Structure 1
C-alpha cells in the first residue's frame, strides 16, 4: 500500500459512524450484513449510511454484493491487511519485543474465545 491509499483508508475510518460500520462488518465475517441491518444496528439514517458505505468502499475497506433485492456489505480483509501492514511496515527498529503485542492481537483473531 502506498501513502495516498493509506491516507484515504485512515481518513475513511476517522469518523465515528464509518469506524462503527467497519468494526461491525469485521465482526460479521465473510457473510456480511445487509445495508438495512447496518442502519438499524447503528441507528444511522439510510441515506447517511449510503454515503459512509461509499467512502469506505472507495477506500478499499469494504465490499458489497447483491443477493436478490438486498445489498450485503462485508469487510475487505485484503484492504484491512494492506492498511495494517502499511502501519507496521517499519516497526520495531530491530526490536521485535515492541511489536510482540501486535502479533498477539492478530493471533487472537484466529483463536476462538
Structure 2
C-alpha cells in the first residue's frame, strides 16, 4: 500500500464514529450488514451513518452489494489486510517487539497433545440458538470437541420450546443452563479454540480479546423466539433453527481440522456461516 492511500484511509478512520462502523463490520466479516441494522447497533442516525458508509466505501475499506431491494455493507478484507500489513511491515518495520503474539497454528497440533478442542457458542440470551448449538456439537462431535455456550444478556433459563425440540431429537437436557459470557472470560475458564456467535446482537457486542486468540466466526440466525408467531405446540421456528444449526455443526465436524492451518480453517468457518 502506498503512503498516499494509507494516509487517506487513516484520515477516514480518524473519525470516532467511522472507526466504530468499521470495527463493527469487522466483527461480521466477511458477511455484510444493512444500514438499518448498523445504525441500530451503534445508535447512529440513518443520515449520519450514510455519510460514514459513503466515506468508508470511497476509501476501499468497505464494499456494498445489493440483494433484492436491500444494500449490504461489508469489509473489503483485501484492503484491510493491506492496511494492517502497511502498519506492521512498512511503518513498524516488522519489529517483533511491536507485534502482538497472534499464533498462526495448525489446530491438529492441539489434538495431537491429547485434548479436545474447546468451542464456545454465543448469542444474546443463551436460551435457544447457542444452547442448541452447544448440545448439537456435544452430541454429534463424539468427544472431539468440548462445547460451551453463553450469552451477553442471558435469560434466567433455557427456552422451553428450544428444550422441547432438543428432547424430541433425542438429546440429553441434563445440566443445561443459561450463563453470562463473563463466565468464560475469567482467568480460570477453559481457553477457547473457536468462538462462534449465532446472533447479530452478540456479534456486535464490544468485548475484550479472547485468551489464545481463538478462531472466531459468525453464524448469525434469526431469533426463533421473535419468529414464533404463536405458542404452537410444534414450535416451527425452533424446529427450523435446530435444523439449520445441525447442518452447520455437521459441516463444522466434517472439516479436516488436523490438516488445515488457521487461515484456511478461518475461511471454512466463514463459509459455513454463509452456506450451511
Shift of 1:111: 2.2
Matches within 5 A, 1:50-61: 50-61=50-61
Tell me which of 101, 104, 108 is aligned to 2:102. Answer: 104
Q: Secondary structure at the match of 1:30?
A: coil
Shift of 1:56: 0.7
Aligned match of 1:46 = 46
Q: 1:35–1:70: 8 Å Cα contact kept in structure 2?
A: no
Shift of 1:100: 4.4
Shift of 1:83: 0.6
Give the TM-score normalised by the residue count of structure 2: 0.36
Matches within 5 A, 1:11-90: 11-90=11-90
Quote the RMSD (CA, aligned, Å).
Answer: 2.3
Closer, same or farther: CA 105–77 of 1 in aligned 2, 3 Å: farther
In the alignment, the residues of structure 2 paired with residue 16 and residue 106 of structure 1 have an alpha-carbon distance, to the nearest angstrom, of 30
Q: 2:88–2:99: 8 Å Cα contact kept in structure 1?
A: no
Aligned match of 2:6 = 6
Q: 1:92–1:99: 8 Å Cα contact kept in structure 2?
A: no
Give the TM-score normalised by the residue count of structure 1: 0.84
In the alignment, the residues of structure 1 paired with residue 19 and residue 103 of structure 2 have an alpha-carbon distance, to the nearest angstrom, of 18
In the alignment, the residues of structure 2 paired with residue 57 and residue 46 of structure 1 have an alpha-carbon distance, to the nearest angstrom, of 16
Q: 1:64–1:73: 8 Å Cα contact kept in structure 2?
A: yes
Unaligned stretches of 5+ residues in structure 1:
none
In the alignment, the residues of structure 2 paired with residue 35 and residue 87 of structure 1 have an alpha-carbon distance, to the nearest angstrom, of 29
In the alignment, the residues of structure 2 paired with residue 17 and residue 105 of structure 1 have an alpha-carbon distance, to the nearest angstrom, of 30
Runs of 4+ in 1 over 4 A off after TM superposition: none
Closer, same or farther: CA 104–49 of 1 in aligned 2, 3 Å: same
Say how many residue pairs are matched. Answer: 109
Shift of 1:112: 4.3
Bigger relative contact order, structure 1 or 2 (CA pairs below 8 A, ≥6 apart): 1
Higher Cα Rg, which structure: 2
